[in-house]
Chains A and B, each alone.
Chain A
Amino acid sequence: MRPLTPKRVFWICSVLVGVLFVMVVVSLRMGAYPISVRDIVMTLFNGALGRRDRIPSDFWLVVFGLRLPRIALGILVGAALATSGAGFQALLRNPLADPYVLGVASGAALGAMLSLMFAPQVPGAIQAAAFVGAAATTGAVYFLGRRGGQLDSATLLLAGIISASFLSAAIMFLGTTLSGRDQRGMAFWIMGDLSSPPSLNLHWLYLVLIVAVGSIYTTSSDLNLILTGEQEARHLGVNVSRVKLVVYIAASLLTGLAVSVAGAIGYVGLIVPHVMRMIFGTDYRLLIPASAIGGAIAIVFADTLARTVVAPTELPVGAMTALAGAPVFIYLMRRSVR
């Protein structure tokens, strides 16, 4: 009998952060512009100290203007998507749950599209509109998913699928009214695009990430119990309705955040929690932080590939995660039969 201890959680997360760090350094190193690791480290170092004059403007441009913002965004998006996926899977007690299944991401994408149509030049409009879209879809699916006054997993899943289809159809319909240029932009963005930094300061977005992941983490003990059955969890003293509400809101917030900033990147919310579960077990007190960091690693890795595989052309990140994600998932599913 070896229960989870905070020390073990911290240790495992440190190792994962270490992997993330290595991935970040590798990602900083790779790209069309040749720059050595030493130069990268010097640039980072001087940059952190504010000594901009010591660095050639090209290095500064490439590291701080191009690669680092992309990586920072990738970490944000990866952590957000993976955590929200883990949350939805516990909430719906369904291993296939994922922000996309619930239609939340489609709602965010629709919001973004509408903002592109009506206010393309307003900075931050896309982000705000995607946020609103995700939140509205969350609310709608939440109310549709109730049965007898309580959230019912099966009904929720159904409501989510229906919403996703409806919203996708709406997006397609509206797509025909866009100009060619905007259609192109939209098509690219919809596949996942980390190259346009959001107009909202990254500070705020990271704050939202930390708050949302933190709220889900505080319910991780509850989620462990809910996974064995809602009735049983209730009898053990878990306030199931409240936990469900918190997780659902936080997970939707995270999805809206990710989609508003980088378009629709699929598979991360589905695969990363599964991989982490297979390595570290199903205890959510470890799974939540592991998924967050694991998601960051996955996206940074996928984005690095997307940038370099067919250089100098850049692929959308979503294409990469789909290409890599599907076979990985199949392999893991077959292996996990105990």
Chain B
Amino acid sequence: MSASAENSAAVAPQTAAFGQDAPVRLNVEQASYAYAATGRSAPNFTLGPATFEARQRELVAILGPNASGKSTLLKLLAGIVKPLSGRIEVDGAEVGTLDLRTRAQKIALVQQESEVLFPLRVWEYVLHGRYPYGRRLRFESDEDCLLAGNALAQVGAAELRDRWMDQLSGGEKQRVILARALAQQPSLLLLDEPTQHLDIGGKVELLRRLRRLADESRYTVLVVTHELNLAAEFSDRIVLLHKGKCLRVGAPAEVYDRDLLEEVFEAPLEIEVREGGRPRVILRGNL
């Protein structure tokens, strides 16, 4: 962590200095999970045990090739499934024991797509993020509207406020979905492969925005991805998964070891260290 303390690269904005005193938002201890086709047969897939933590203002990338268990880990973190062993804690409380509303107040999961059935305005959509607060049948208060407006501003979508959801472009929609997640005022922001459908410009813009959210608005962001370089550029910590095993946790410079990455991603790779200490991965030799 200390290696990336000061960074003046144009691409990767500065990460504020943080130390051991920033509060731990997420604590994963020896969490494991297993899938089985039916209840009785042997597990098809086992994840874990995984141990890592994420602090406030950190952007953590969960990295790995396809079918490495990233989505499963995300589900564990979001509380969708309970770990078979170990603990997952958010703000000190174990995720599995939280009731749905409290969990929604602490953890916001950002999906890639949102299928809106009936015509809905952007601000209505973002206001849905305020659902976990208040009674079940609720009417939004002024505070809710204020927070929703802030969320839209934070993602740079304030001018989209009165548009209809089905008229948005892909990038605009993703920003709005993110805004809704922010309206939840979560401790933890989880994103599942958010860069999948974006071009390179879009990817960079998104990661920049996430970085800014982490730095300035003090969110803890976890991004599931297989993009090696984006992860290296923007994250404070990387959790490397391979075939369900958590191989390594640490800063990008620590995790990006050539032999390790070649084994995990099964491709001939080479690692460069750029100025500022962040690694960059490129393909080696002739294809």
Contacts and interface: CB of A to CB of B under 8 A. Distances in A.
Given A5-B139, A228-B114, A282-B119, A237 B100 contact: yes
A299 interface: no
B137 A221 contact: yes
Interface residues of B, number: 41
Interface string A231-255: 1101111110000000000000000
A338 B116 CA distance: 14
Contacts of B114: 228-229, 232
B148 A236 contact: no
Interface string A203-242: 0000000000000011111101101110110111111000
A146 interface: no
Interface residues of A, number: 32
A237 B103 CA distance: 7
Nearest to B118: A282
Contacts, number: 85
A3 interface: yes
A225 B136 CA distance: 12
A122 interface: no
B229 to A, nearest CB: 29
Contacts of B161: 1
A234 B128 CA distance: 12
Interface in B156-175: 161-162, 164, 166
B164 A338 contact: yes
B131 A236 contact: yes
Contact of B128 (A4, A228, A338): A228
A4 B139 contact: yes
B125 A228 contact: yes
Contact of B104 (A3, A235, A281): A235
A217 B100 contact: no
Contacts of A5: 139
Contact of B148 (A1, A6, A218, A281): A1
14 contacts: A3-B124, A5-B139, A217-B137, A221-B137, A228-B120, A229-B111, A231-B111, A232-B111, A235-B78, A237-B101, A237-B105, A282-B118, A283-B124, A285-B139
Which 3 residue pairs are nearest across A and B when measured between Cβ atoms? Answer: A237-B104, A282-B118, A237-B101
